[in-house]
Amino acid sequence: MQIACPNCDLIVTIPTVGPKELALCPCCNTKLSAANVNHDNLIVALSISALIMLLSSMFYPFISFSSNGITQTITLPDAARILFNYDSELLGIFIDTTIIGLPMALLLLIIPLHLGILSVLPYTLAKRLLKITLALEPWIMSEIFLIGVMVSMVKIMSLADVSFGVSFWAYTGFVLCYIATLAHLNHRRLWEQVKTTDNITHLVHSVRAIDQGLRQCRVCGQLCETTICSRCETKTHTRNPHSVQRAAAWIMTSVVCYLPANIFPIMYTTSLGDQAPSTLVGGVITLWQSGSYPIAVIIFLASVVVPLAKALILSFLCFMVSRPANRQTKSYTRVYQLTEFIGKWSMIDVFVVAILVALVQLGNLMSVTPGIGTLFFTTMVICQMLAAHAFDPRLLWDTPENVKQIKQETTA
């Protein structure tokens, strides 16, 4: 089987990959393929288990918070519901969607896909169903929410007694089953059930696809000679149209949001009638002073350092597109892969605020309300995720001749 590397565009012939083996691009070390093993039964079992755990986590106590004889107990949906009471509807919708709605939708789609429904559905419906399923995965943040819960517990354990309910353990089980499900997904096998890969007989090994007049479909990964993918009917391009411009626009938007996200309070804490604002950096300082050094470092890196570093790295990569490929291009590609991978992990602080707002509601004795900084921070992280998705790393490897070819295609 021959495919084009999605990060450097090199045509690579992949031999039969055995169990526990990976096929890597010889040019940029991108993972290209794993063993083509049928894990359908295992994926269905894990998906059903994850779905049962997720449903169970919605109806029982999630966390209990007790202070001075007053107890507050919340369920999982309360994390978003209480935000609606503080006029944070967009944030509430985002949280409900990313930790409950999208995971449930993905699991409900994965189960029939691995029971063979793609081979019996009409072609048009099958390819649309698979496109939707694979598009949901990057926006699910269940594992980040779980880490956020643990961080929020560290913040308030010194102030009150905290206990985990049945729903918390059910949600933990869901996250573990969900991660195991994704680890066994084989996108290539699913697309083969929709339609087998077209063979291109004149491919030249170790030559880039653009130099052979070929395009790789960014949806199903098939090499194409035409402007429409023959398997998933997606419009193909030699390079993602206006990739640098779109990435730069999202980066600039994220930078605009970064400043107010760090200046304005992300939450307000009321204790005995006195209200105190808390910023991102202020929360890190509080954790450090309380002795929670590892958590303080994690929050500082995820919420302050990483967003700024991502903006700088993506800006640098957009600039390097105008330079010819050199011996450092492989390193640039690795940096891009890392930036894309950690994109959504900056969302930890948003989930921390959501949990604290839902849990700490004891009137004037102690309560937490969301601040405008949370909305700016959420917008910033989403913009950076979109910037990383818009950037086409293959541009880093293009020659001046390739650039002329791409410009001709764009203006045609």
* Greatest extent of the chain over all pairs of C-alpha atoms, in Å: 77
| pLDDT of res. 288 | 79
| pLDDT of res. 249 | 95
| pLDDT of res. 163 | 83
CA distances to 44, 148, 281, 309 from 299, in Å: 35, 10, 9, 14
Instruction: Find the domain containing 4 and state its range.
Output: 1-37+198-231
Residues 209 and 294 in one domain: no
Residues 136 and 110 in one domain: yes
Task: Please calculate the CA angle 200-393-396 and round it to the nearest 5 degrees.
Answer: 100
Residues 219 and 104 in one domain: no
CA nearest neighbour of 12 among 198, 225, 327, 223: 223
Residues 394 and 279 in one domain: yes
Residues 13 and 56 in one domain: no
Whether 319 is covered by a domain: the verdict is: yes
- Report the 10 Å Cβ neighbour count for 238: 22
Report the DSSP pairing between strands 63-67 and 70-74. antiparallel
Residue 48 near residue 108 (C-beta atoms within 8 A):
no
CA gap 259, 257 in Å, rounded = 6
Residues 203 and 141 in one domain: no
Last residue of a domain, one of 147, 177, 195: 195
| pLDDT of res. 6 | 86
Residues 173 and 305 in one domain: no
Pull the structure tokens for residue 257: 């949001």
Is 326 exposed, middle or buried, given 0-12, 13-18 or 19+ CB atoms closer than 10 A?
Answer: exposed
Residue 39 near residue 47 (C-beta atoms within 8 A):
no
| pLDDT of res. 316 | 92
Number of domains in the chain: 3
State residue 220 phi and psi, 5-degree precision.
Answer: -110, -10
CA nearest neighbour of 211 among 369, 10, 412, 382: 10
Residue 130 near residue 191 (C-beta atoms within 8 A):
yes
Residues 60 and 108 in one domain: yes
Whether 387 is covered by a domain: the verdict is: yes
Residues 281 and 296 in one domain: yes
State residue 366 phi and psi, 5-degree precision.
Answer: -165, 130
Last residue of a domain, one of 207, 231, 255: 231
Whether 5 is covered by a domain: the verdict is: yes
Last residue of a domain, one of 178, 207, 231: 231
Whether 409 is covered by a domain: the verdict is: no
Q: What is the CATH number of the domain that holds 269?
A: 1.20.140
Contacts 24+ apart (CB under 8 A), 301-305: 302/345, 302/346, 302/348, 302/349, 303/346, 303/348, 303/349, 303/377, 304/262, 304/280
Residues 287 and 369 in one domain: yes
Whether 411 is covered by a domain: the verdict is: no
Residues 226 and 143 in one domain: no
Pull the structure tokens for residue 364: 């004037």
| pLDDT of res. 159 | 67
Whether 412 is covered by a domain: the verdict is: no
Residues 207 and 92 in one domain: no
10-residue mean pLDDT series, the chain (412 residues):
83 77 81 76 93 92 78 82 79 88 93 89 89 89 88 74 87 94 86 77 74 85 84 85 92 92 83 74 77 76 85 91 84 89 82 80 69 88 91 87 73 62
| pLDDT of res. 47 | 94
